[in-house]
Amino acid sequence: MDKTEARLTLAVDAMGSDKGPQEVLEGVAQAVEFSPRSTDFMLFGQEEILSEIIEKHSVLGNARVSVRHAPEIVGMDEKPIAGIKGKKNSSMSLALLALKNGEADALLSCGNTGCLMAGGAIRLRTLEGVERPALCTIWPGRERYFTLLDAGANPHAKPFHIVQSAVLGSNYARLALGLVRPKVGLLTIGTEEGKGNEVIHETHSMLKDIDGSILNYAGLIEGFQIFENVVDVVVCDGFVGNIVLKACESLSKLIGSFLDEELKRNALRKTGALLSKGAFRSLKQRINPEQFGGAPLLGLTKNVIKAHGSSNRNHISGAIKIALDLVQHDMLSQVTEDIRETNELLRPEPLPVKGLQAKEK
């Protein structure tokens, strides 16, 4: 079903940002202006605070913007399960509940990633046929952006989960990166047959089985190829993905600090740095994945997008744009279809219902 003409509601967890709710609401205001009139925004947070910001803001006074009071806030240091189950009245929990109840079609949150992943798994169901959700991240590569998943939603991944992640990521890359047939690569060590480990061998073999029909599998890739745009969708288990993501983010910051220190070491370097400051600003933008739309938690019955905690208003509105695109282009239906085909090809026997797994038909 094409939802372009239907009403569409985006839930926004307004409280999780490092920059405070004002910045989140400025991002929402941008989205109110560029989105179709059929789009509503449901803001979750402490009513007093949000209303005060809205009152002073001409765009947010729009009838399409409403506030839902949520007295609690999930902190950045909160443990995943405790942050969700222990704070039922947090902006994050109540927003997830609105998704579950069908009051909203998609959720954007800048809050605690671990809690959002746990909350998505606890409060929402996985999409029909999907066994585990996957967190999908967008990264800057040498020539263009690429996606990497799972970035940590499922650290106990079995080969079939990784295959399903590849299907989810491929669908997301089509919409978010605008690619017709995104190339999928399986992250491993050494690309010759026999290298890697058992999970990789089994996953590789299954991905070859669905290559061509369901996705465009380009084969095994190594760590040094990630940033070289050899593929558009890098797939791995959530344990590896999370570690690589965090290590790379932290290395970027370290290099930034080193550069800063070196440029301030003497007067000559300082003068040079002043003249070429535009280069450093551009560099920072190019290696900053925050600017690009946030990370969706894929494989759930609703679209859940995690924006970075330090996102500014432009990042927020960018993430909202992608969230609305996912709903308008009905990515979930396409994913459901692709997952059904994948399961038919690779897993003919229904599995017993367990954990997060969706009910069998």
Name the residues that contact a copy of itself, by CB under 8 A.
79-80, 114, 141-142, 152, 155-156, 187-190, 192, 195-198, 222-228, 236, 238-240, 242-252, 254-255, 257-259, 262-263, 265-266, 268-280, 282-283, 286-287
What is the closest distance, in whole angstroms, from the C-beta atom of residue 44 to a copy of itself in the complex?
Answer: 25
- What one-letter code names the amino acid at 245? L
Short-list 20, 308, 301, CA closest to 139: 308
In the block, tokens 């307004």 appear at: 14
Which helix (H) or strand (E) segment is 79 a member of?
A: none
**DSSP state string for 33-44:** HHS-TTEEEEEE
Strand partners, 10: 41, 106
What is the closest distance, in whole angstroms, from the C-beta atom of residue 264 to a copy of itself in the complex?
Answer: 9
How many whole angstroms separate alpha carbon 109 and alpha carbon 11? 9
Smaller CB separation from a copy of itself, 129 or 238? 238
Smaller CB separation from a copy of itself, 53 or 187? 187
What is the closest distance, in whole angstroms, from the C-beta atom of residue 314 to a copy of itself in the complex?
Answer: 20
Smaller CB separation from a copy of itself, 29 or 115? 115
- The SS3 assignment for 215 reads strand
* DSSP, res 72: B
Which helix (H) or strand (E) segment is 262 a member of?
A: helix 238-263
> Which stretches of 264-312 are DSSP H helices?
267-275, 277-286
Q: How many helices (H) and strands (E) does the chain have?
A: 12, 11
Short-list 180, 210, 238, 147, CA closest to 340: 210
Buried b (16+ CB within 10 A) or exposed e, 283-302: eeeebbbbbbbbbbbbbbbb
What is the closest distance, in whole angstroms, from the C-beta atom of residue 173 to a copy of itself in the complex?
Answer: 19
What is the closest distance, in whole angstroms, from the C-beta atom of residue 218 to a copy of itself in the complex?
Answer: 17
What is the closest distance, in whole angstroms, from the C-beta atom of residue 274 to a copy of itself in the complex?
Answer: 7
Smaller CB separation from a copy of itself, 45 or 140? 140
What is the closest distance, in whole angstroms, from the C-beta atom of residue 288 to a copy of itself in the complex?
Answer: 11
Smaller CB separation from a copy of itself, 181 or 269? 269
Smaller CB separation from a copy of itself, 278 or 348? 278
What is the closest distance, in whole angstroms, from the C-beta atom of residue 181 to a copy of itself in the complex?
Answer: 25
Smaller CB separation from a copy of itself, 271 or 334? 271
Smaller CB separation from a copy of itself, 151 or 331? 151
Q: Annotate 304-333 with three-state secondary structure.
A: EEECCCCCCHHHHHHHHHHHHHHHHCCHHH
